[in-house]
């Protein structure tokens, strides 16, 4: 394995630890397309981490700025990071994605309801959807942006419950259940989390046959995770056999 292969393998492994379903589903991706499949998944993971998952907002700002610069370089045909190199040549609006990431870091307003929570992440989700469409040669629309907005909110769980943005849990759900976000983070909010999962599932568009394989898989897996959470079965994805069968069905929709 070359040095570059080892470097990107590290970031792909980080992504797969968070989304093990995508590692299983890779068998359904044609081998020539796998470098972009892996690179895009790992890049979204890195951008999500920079924008949402670092404990210090100052570190988030610095890391997001670095990624914004890297995305601007990508638009100019240059790459410094292992996960961006396989994406060279994709005619995406990479600077728009970098700008959306930087704006996301400073948006700490607590949402009133699920619609406002989606609205808060929608600029980043829309920029991700547009870039993803360029990477996989499909056409982005509101459907794709909404699917990515739901994905971003789902991926804030469970660790984000203890973060400053409290996983963007809507205030109306906290009020309905008579809980604070701190109580939910301490494990007292299972009924609230079931309601949150059901609300997000209702906002998640159905995967479409003309979506990219990556989008069909990720949206289908997000729906499965939300269904488990809505039934009080935790945050983890379904088991490997169920995941492989789901991946096969989603891949066949093309």
Closest CA to 91 of 133, 42, 35: 133
Domain count, the chain: 1
**23-75: per-residue pLDDT in tens?**
999 999 999 999 999 999 999 999 999 988 887 888 889 999 999 999 999 99
| Cα(210)–Cα(143) distance, integer angstroms | 12
For residues 17-48, one letter each, b for 16 or more C-beta atoms within 10 angstroms of the residue's C-beta and e for the rest, the string is eebebbbbbbebbeeeeeebbbbbbbbbbbbb
Strand residues in the chain grouped as ranges (E): none
Burial class (CB in 10 A: 0-12, 13-18, 19+), 94: buried
Domain around 144: 3-251
CATH number of the domain that residue 150 is part of: 1.10.600.10
Q: Tell me the per-residue pLDDT of 138-155, one tens digit each, with 9 for 90 and over.
A: 988 889 999 999 999 999
């Amino acid at each position: 394995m070359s040095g570059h292969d080892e470097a990107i393998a590290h970031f792909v492994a980080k992504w797969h630890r968070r989304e093990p379903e995508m590692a299983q589903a890779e068998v359904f991706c044609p081998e020539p397309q796998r470098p972009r499949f892996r690179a895009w998944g790992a890049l979204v993971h890195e951008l999500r981490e920079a924008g949402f998952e670092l404990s210090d907002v100052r570190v988030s700002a610095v890391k997001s700025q670095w990624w914004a610069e890297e995305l601007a370089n990508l638009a100019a045909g240059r790459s410094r990071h292992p996960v961006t190199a396989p994406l060279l040549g994709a005619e995406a609006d990479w600077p728009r994605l970098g700008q959306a990431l930087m704006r996301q870091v400073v948006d700490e307003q607590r949402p009133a309801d699920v619609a406002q929570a989606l609205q808060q992440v929608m600029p980043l989700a829309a920029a991700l959807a547009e870039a993803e469409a360029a990477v996989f040669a499909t056409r982005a629309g509101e459907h794709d942006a909404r699917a990515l907005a739901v994905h971003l909110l789902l991926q804030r769980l469970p660790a984000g419950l203890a973060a400053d943005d409290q996983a963007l849990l809507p205030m109306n759900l906290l009020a309905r259940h008579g809980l604070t976000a701190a109580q939910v983070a301490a494990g007292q909010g299972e009924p609230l989390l079931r309601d949150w999962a059901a609300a997000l599932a209702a906002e998640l568009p159905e995967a479409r046959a003309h979506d990219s394989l990556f989008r069909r898989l990720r949206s289908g897996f997000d729906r499965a995770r939300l269904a488990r959470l809505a039934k009080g079965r935790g945050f983890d994805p379904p088991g490997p056999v169920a995941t492989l069968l789901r991946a096969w069905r989603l891949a066949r929709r093309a």
